[in-house]
Amino acid sequence: MEIKGARKGNNDLLRHHNRALIVNLLRDQGPLSRAELSRLTGLAPSALSRLSAALISEGLVRELGKTPSPSGRPPILLGLNPDYASSIGLKIEAERVLAARVDLLGRVQEEVTVPFEDPAPVNVLSALEEVVSQLLRGKVLGIGVAVSGFVDSVAGKCLFSPILGWHEVDLSHPLSERFGLEVHVENDVNALTLAEARYGAGRDFPDFVCVTVGEGLGAGVVIGGRLYRGAFGGAGEFGHTLFDPRGPRCRCGERGCLEVFSSDQFLRRKARELGSSVEELSRRARDGDSTAEAAFRELGEHLGYGLKDLVNLLNPQAIVIGGERTTSDGDLFLPFAEEVLRKHAFAGAADRVRLVRAKLGEEGFLVGAAEVFVENFFAVPLG
Ligand SMILES: [Zn+2]
């Protein structure tokens, strides 16, 4: 976040602005002494002292003891109290709901998983209500829900999810009515992208694409430090870009989508041809079985062609690659993806793009689902 300088004055807006500056500095660079805060904000020591006293009595900031100092009186450090408030992050999968309470620094405090029989909306909503009830504690800023498919974040609805078999499912109103909290619904890969952008592998890149390889193939696009959701919320459906118009049917209804060629669906087809399972295929590839190795290599090459298109379209600084298949078997296919990308991208556009692994894993989806509330909490009022 860009932090502008302190403003002087005594009306409410200015007080809120300066207070937000202090809180943001403690979040990003804390712990800090009052003198350091005064220097960084440009606020006079007396004003800084008054504002910090208010924040301490509120419980949002606390004194953390003294730093060792070679000379003179060691200053007392101030730090953010990350437990002052929390948000709840939820992720809906095909057979279970994952949930976490996330603190103000984006750390998971407690995690719960609840399975369900089939993903009919009524079952999933009741699982969501169950996990939220278990996690509610203290001051809760809101509930974030990550779900696969085409999501309208403004309406709080999942418009279409092939994995869940959903059309037009309203998630936000039932939950906000039940718990009296604000609810934000996000595409799952977008949620992971938000978390990687703030806490993970995307931190240093204002322009990056987060790609997930697992049961499906997804992408989240960050442009100029902001998640790009598209005009209606459907940006980043990387898995449903075309790979081969004569290819097998995709679960979205179309034929030959990239997802069919570079996700677990591809590995399952290969494993079936060999009378094997994906886990067995992975074991055999690690043992040097050339047929199994070739299956992962092909997946990697297909992915590489997709990444080439992404790089040609968006020219990002980095591609952050995550998802379950990457976590377990990335070493078996990512080198081939990178080779194809570097070799085939337009006019050497891929020379400088960095390929990095996602840092946050499964928890990233939950942290990212909750992130919108954390960001709102720290937002500096305009004025
Ligand atoms: Zn498709």
Both 240 and 349 in a single domain?
A: yes
Q: Is residue 7 part of a domain?
A: no
Per-residue pLDDT tens over the stretch 124-138: 999 999 999 999 999
Q: Is residue 1 part of a domain?
A: no
Alpha carbon of 214 to ligand 1 centroid (Å): 14
Identify the CATH number of the domain in which residue 69 sits.
1.10.10.10
Alpha carbon of 324 to ligand 1 centroid (Å): 19
List the one residue out of 74, 5, 14 whose CA is nearest residue 39. Answer: 5
Domain boundary among 50, 80, 110: 80
Query: How would residue 74 be classed by pLDDT, with cut points 50, 70 and 90?
Result: confident
Both 121 and 73 in a single domain?
A: no
Tokens of 278: 């994906």
> How much is the pLDDT for 319?
98
Lowest mean pLDDT among 115-124, 144-153, 268-277, 346-355: 346-355
Both 36 and 130 in a single domain?
A: no
Residue 61 has pLDDT above 90, yes or no: yes
Instruction: Please give the tally of structural domains in the chain.
Output: 3
Alpha carbon of 376 to ligand 1 centroid (Å): 34
pLDDT (average), residues 340-351: 85
Q: Is residue 3 part of a domain?
A: no
- How much is the mean pLDDT over the chain? 93
More confident residue, 208 or 9: 208
Alpha carbon of 187 to ligand 1 centroid (Å): 16
pLDDT (average), residues 191-210: 97
Alpha carbon of 35 to ligand 1 centroid (Å): 57
Alpha carbon of 257 to ligand 1 centroid (Å): 5
Alpha carbon of 69 to ligand 1 centroid (Å): 61
Alpha carbon of 33 to ligand 1 centroid (Å): 54
CA distance 30 to 61: 11
- Residue 57: exposure state from Cβ atoms within 10 A (0-12, 13-18, ≥19): exposed
Residues found in the chain: 383
Q: Is residue 6 part of a domain?
A: no
| Residues with Cβ within 8 Å of residue 289, at least 6 apart in sequence | none
Alpha carbon of 181 to ligand 1 centroid (Å): 35
Residue 329 has pLDDT above 70, yes or no: yes
> How much is the pLDDT for 371?
96
Both 272 and 374 in a single domain?
A: no
Alpha carbon of 72 to ligand 1 centroid (Å): 66
Domain boundary among 80, 95, 122: 80
Q: Is residue 143 part of a domain?
A: yes
Are residues 352 and 311 in contact, defined by beta-carbon separation less than 8 angstroms?
no
pLDDT (average), residues 1-12: 59
Range of 221's domain?
201-358
Tokens of 115: 């399975």
Alpha carbon of 88 to ligand 1 centroid (Å): 31
Q: Is residue 4 part of a domain?
A: no
Both 100 and 163 in a single domain?
A: yes
Strands 32-33 and 76-80, sheet pairing: antiparallel
Query: How would residue 1 be classed by pLDDT, with cut points 50, 70 and 90?
Result: very low
Both 256 and 138 in a single domain?
A: no
Alpha carbon of 260 to ligand 1 centroid (Å): 7
Are residues 379 and 343 in contact, defined by beta-carbon separation less than 8 angstroms?
no
Both 254 and 316 in a single domain?
A: yes
Alpha carbon of 43 to ligand 1 centroid (Å): 55
Alpha carbon of 129 to ligand 1 centroid (Å): 31
Asked, as a colleague might, if the bond just before 70 is cis with ω within 30 of 0, I would say no
Residue 2 has pLDDT above 70, yes or no: no
Both 92 and 225 in a single domain?
A: no
Both 130 and 94 in a single domain?
A: yes
Both 121 and 245 in a single domain?
A: no
Residue 67 has pLDDT above 90, yes or no: no
pLDDT (average), residues 335-357: 90
Alpha carbon of 253 to ligand 1 centroid (Å): 6
Both 170 and 72 in a single domain?
A: no
Alpha carbon of 217 to ligand 1 centroid (Å): 10
Alpha carbon of 264 to ligand 1 centroid (Å): 14
